[in-house]
A and B are shown apart, each in its own frame.
Chain A
Amino acid sequence: MAILRITDSGVLLDERPKGEEIALAEWRAGVRPEAGRFELFIPNTEDAEALAEIVKRFDAVILEFPDFKDGRAYTQARVLRERLHFTGELRARGQVLCDQALFMARAGFDAFEIGGGDAEGFAKAIGAYSFFYQPAADSARPIHALRAEKRAAA
């Protein structure tokens, strides 16, 4: 499974997961990883906020898009990043298409399981817009802040 990652040095394609994967249900059933790096898979029906104590033990969280039209994981991602301040890898799984990659990136995803998907198309889609109106989980400053800056500079 090819994984596309947004890194400081650009958008890179890479085959390796970050570590051993555990599903939330397994964790709840008492499965505990031994050592090393671990990834938690969370179904999109879960309230991410209730998982604060669990996710902080993981290096990566995987959220799912069973269908690209099912947008629940966008909310989970923002909650993980903006409210729980999760700093590990946040990876999108499922029907992950380049046309939604920008929304995913803005919601806090920094890795995408793209299968045979077109890495170049993803990179292009993620960079398709220069400005955004609303604050989200990425580092983009909203347009109103840019406007205020411009006024201050004038």
Chain B
Amino acid sequence: MYRYDEFDETLVRERVREFRGQVARRLSGELSEEEFKPLRLMNGLYLQLHAYMLRVAIPYGTLSSRQMRQLAHIARIYDKGYGHFTTRQNIQFNWPALIDVPDILDDLADVEMHAIQTSGNCIRNITSDPYAGAIAGEVDDPRVWSEVIRQWSSLHPEFSFLPRKFKIAVTASDQDRAAIRVHDIGLRLHRNGSGDRGFEVLVGGGLGRTPYVAETVREFLPERRLLSYLEAIMRVYNRLGRRDNKYKARIKILVADDVGDFRRQVEEEWGKSDKDRLDAPLDEVLRIRRFFAPPKFEKPGDASVLLAKARTVDAEFDRFVATNTLEHRQPGYAIVNISLKPIGLPPGDISADQMDAVADLAERYSFDELRATHEQNLCLPHVRKDDLFAVWRALDEAGLATANIGLVSDIIACPGLDYCDLANARSIPIATRIAERFADPASAADIGELKIKISGCINACGHHHVGHIGILGVDKKGEEFYQIMLGGSAAADASLGAITGRGFSSSEVVDAVDRLIGFYKANRGEGERFLDAYRRLGADPFKEVLYGDIAHH
């Protein structure tokens, strides 16, 4: 993983010092909340319904055990003993006191972390494939370029006051596990016909009020030209993006207006730019690349006798292996997903003790590496198959062995009305109630891959547009209602869900989901996922299932 040198360290420390001064000015009353707001937002500090919330960046989702232990420490000392992983590979602390925040930031800097640009209308934390460097089928480790972008975008003097926030995601695989098609910029590293590596550059994806799937602005950008091309995109957006209406200010609106014209402007700007000056020099990319060299894998055979035996003996372990682990590119190893969606608890929450437990496992079994996923889970990227049983036992002891990755109870939900002052409705209780309804592991396994995503308002932080089943909280005369959308996906086959019809009350919505699933089970083909069945059968029969009955009563 990437390690700071004196330059990275100095920059982060100077940032903390600057913010410490600003907090002191706020506490002494020299700054009003209004004046302080833009300053705290530049350091990831939000004011929520009940308290401040600090959002900490986890660049491209990669963490060491030392960093995870420090997050546990922060949760214990400055918060109520837990943290919350978000859909952007960040972690949020929901209860810090303002006076403590500079100390928290210093604690983060001690382990090479920060909260820079986790809010505000700037380039946000760069996200990437959570299985980077571990899964087969990548043309490179996408974190090399994610780190190049992280550095370039940090305190960028031209692009820190954009029309709106700006999110970039990077993948190096055809299997999109970074949701690049719903980001402001999505970058897909691949090889062209002559074997050279370069990026497909997608621009203008995004959720929120007006969701769009990104357009390809360039099929192939030689990788060494990445930064100059990004500068060109950002410059066109900074100049022409709308600033008169917050809801039309994202780059997706500019792109959707006229993608041909947008492409022409970007290419023209790029054509004029001093690329050699703007692009990361080769020696710098090589320097960064060295940090992402593959760990020193042992070379066991792929078939693990220990694993096979344990699976026959323990059915729960067998189920865990089937749902939560993936083949590693290195024979004899596996990728282990840790679900932060235990049945009945808020998605993405993790206690300080659990963080320590996960850190221990990473240190002992996964080359000291951990990942946060955009589905609000964690991952141990490099575990020997021989060690899987021991890892599972330890996870189970920590209450982290829920075997539901990708299944009906692995729900993405935004904070909703429990925390967020923009919310129309609660999200978390709906997620927990759906998970409870389908708590039986055998029936969840039978339902198969199903992505349910819940947002408490139209801002779509819970990505409901790209859920196979999306649920959106709306306010109906002061009462919480939930609209259901079907057919969305954030993967390589990205699509936006379609609204089915009128909303359901909080007491109806879980039954509605149950009916959808029942219909799917009765009508699916062999091995067909919910999403594929929906795409094959079309919306009508599903609508009939949702609303038909009710009409008859």
Q: Mark B215-240, 1 if CB is under 8 A from A, else 0.
A: 00000000000000000000100110
CA distance A75 to B159 in the complex (A): 8
Q: Is A27 an interface residue (CB 8 A)?
A: no
Question: How long is the Cα–Cα vector from A106 to B15 in the complex, in angstroms?
Answer: 16
Task: Map CB proximity to A onto B154-178 as digits: 1 under 8 Å, 0 otherwise.
Answer: 1111111110000000000000000
CB < 8 Å neighbour of A136 from B14, B154, B157, B281: B157
B158 touches A107 (CB 8 A): yes
Interface membership of B3, Cβ < 8 A: no
Per a CB cutoff under 8 Å, which of A70, A102, A129, A136 touches B161? A70
A144 on interface, CB distance cutoff 8 Å: yes
Mark contacts of A80-97 with chain B using CB atoms, 8 A cut-off: 1 yes-contact digit, 0 otherwise: 001100000000000000
Is the beta-carbon distance between A129 and B14 smaller than 8 angstroms? yes
Kindly list chain A residues whose C-beta atoms are within 8 Å of the C-beta of B14: 128-130
The answer, among B151, B162, B272, B287, for a CB contact under 8 Å with A71, is B162
Q: How large is the interface on B (under 10, 10 to 19, 20 to 34, 35 or more residues)?
A: 35 or more
With an 8 A cutoff between CB atoms, is A69 at the interface?
yes
Range, interface on chain A: 35 or more
Q: A129 contacts B155, CB within 8 Å? A: yes
Decide if the interface of chain B is mainly helix, strand, loop or mixed. Answer: helix
Complex Cα spacing A134 to B7, Å? 13
Main secondary structure on A side of the interface with B: helix
| Interface pair B239/A102, CB less than 8 Å apart | no
Whole-angstrom distance between the Cβ of B72 and the nearest chain A Cβ? 30
B209: interface (CB < 8 Å)? no
Contact A78 B158 (CB under 8 A): yes
Q: Is the CB of A133 within 8 A of B155?
A: yes
Q: Mark B271-315, 1 if CB is under 8 A from A, else 0.
A: 010100110110110010000000000000000000000000000
With A100-B161, A128-B14, A129-B11 as known contacts, state yes or no: A75 contacts B238, CB within 8 Å. yes
Please judge, given known A-B contacts A83-B272, A148-B281, whether A131 and B243 are in contact too, CB under 8 Å.
no
Contact B5 A147 (CB under 8 A): yes
Leading 4 A-B pairs by shortest Cβ distance: A71-B161, A106-B157, A144-B284, A103-B157
Interface CB pairs A-B, < 8 A, 14: A47-B239, A49-B272, A68-B38, A71-B121, A75-B235, A82-B274, A99-B38, A128-B14, A130-B11, A131-B11, A132-B155, A133-B11, A135-B277, A148-B281
Chain A interface residues toward B at CB < 8 A: 47, 49, 68-72, 74-75, 78, 82-83, 99-100, 102-104, 106-107, 125, 128-136, 143-148, 151
